[in-house]
Amino acid sequence: MKISDAKVVVCSPGRNFVTLKIYTDSGVYGLGDATLNGRELAVATYLADHVVPCLIGRNPFQTEDIWQYLYRGGYWRKGPVTMMAIAAVDVALWDIKAKALNTPLYNLLGGKARSGVMVYGHANGGTIAETIDEVGRHIDQKYLAVRAQCGVPGLAGLYGVSTDSQPYEPAQKGLPSESAWSSEKYLQFVPTLFEELRKAFGEDVHLLHDVHHRLTPIQAARLGKALEPFHLFWMEDAVPAELQEGFRIIRQHTTTPLAVGEIFNTVWDSKLLITEQLIDYLRMSLHGGGITALQKIAAFADMYHVQMGCHGATDLSPVTMGAALHFDISVTNFGIQEYMPHSRATLEVFPHGYRYVNGYLHPAETPGHGVDLDEALAKKFPYERAYLPVNRRLDGTMWNW
């Protein structure tokens, strides 16, 4: 079997997605997701202009060799654009391989190691009362784990909290919007949110929280300590993680479990975090080099008691979600999978076989990863410029969003 052609499809059914479709001479095709939120067209160009010409004629079963060819062979290693492009190729090739062997992808990754993939949903509210309602709505839908984000009094607009009546969506059309930030107000407020959530729902439901890179290590240590009585499942992205050593400070002060890594794109971004056991959950999903890379990273993390907690925001397309579920169900050190359901338009453009039942997602049982692309429908949703917001401290200083 040989790769005969490949093309990049950009569409925007509510938000932008970049999809790579690889064709073979046997008629089997595979799909990979190449969506880099806010920088979509850079990956589309990288793939179409620099990667696709190198794929034609290769054996699609040689996932390891093609991965190395694109990583070592590109000379310029790492980085979100490169690794997202490699991920799209890799996931599409694993899709082809599993379809050609007529089996669901998880069977090529070790087979099922559990009966379902525990997920966490998003509860967002402008006030504590609204957030309590949203957590309750998730519990009614049988979620076992819920991430809670809430507006902070005195701050207009906050990560995770929708400003209109629509579901929260990280990117917004047009140029980047700006929001205001105060670590002091946030630090004072968040423990009360979780105190109230525990009062309302008791001890059993897993509660999670995303700090979205806003704090310094000593502030994160303070927050982790303050949240200990409410035993979070994890505190996510407490600080930006370029300085991996910074997590030593957080770790020394708190037993709140730490998660990080949704923007990591190679194992090198987390080497020290893993080997020094500074984190509990690694948030990389398939965007960091695909299945070939993530399997190796997970095996390395497993040696240091780090579990996988794949990123699953709506900017990762249903192709990533569908493929990630095959990884989640088969990997030994699985922790939890984020599940932020896509819009109806997105789900129609990407017909898929995965399904949610009582707190768990289940991968498709059809050959491959089980997610397709309705190209005729995709054409009706052309690309629209969109960006993630930016963030400034109250005095106007640029801060981390």
Binding site for Mg ion (CB under 5 A): 210, 262
Q: Which does 313 bind (CB under 5 to 8 A by kind): Mg ion, ligand CS2, none?
A: ligand CS2
Catalytic status, residue 75: no
CB of 328 closer than 8 Å to CB of 337: yes
Q: From 40-48, 130-138, 309-317, 391-399, give the range in contact with ligand CS2 by CB under 6 A.
A: 309-317
* Smaller CB separation from Mg ion, 33 or 210: 210
Does residue 196 belong to the site contacting ligand CS2 (CB under 6 A)? Answer: no
The correct pick among 33, 280, 338, 372 for binding ligand CS2 (CB under 6 A) is 338
| Contact flags string 153-182 toward ligand CS2, x per CB under 6 A | -----------------x------------
Which H or E run includes 376?
helix 375-378
Residue 392 bridge partners (DSSP): 180, 398
Active site residue 387: no
37 binds ligand CS2 per the rule CB under 6 A = yes
The one catalytic residue in 212, 213, 326, 352 is: 212
Indicate the burial class of 260 (C-beta count within 10 angstroms; 0-12, 13-18, 19 or more). Answer: buried
User: Is 372 an interacting residue with respect to ligand CS2 (CB under 6 A)?
Assistant: no
CB of 160 to Mg ion, least distance (A): 8
Rounded to a whole number of angstroms, the distance between the first and last alpha carbons of the chain is 46
Q: How far is the CB of 389 from ligand CS2 (least distance, A)?
A: 9
At residue 163, φ and ψ (nearest 5 deg) are -95, -20
Tokens of 163: 């400003």
3-class secondary-structure state, position 6 = strand
Query: 221: closest CA among 122, 211, 392?
Result: 211
- Helix, strand, coil shares, percent, the chain, to 5: 35, 20, 45
Which positions are catalytic?
159, 212
List residues near ligand CS2 by CB under 6 A: 37, 170, 210, 212, 262, 311, 313, 315, 338, 388
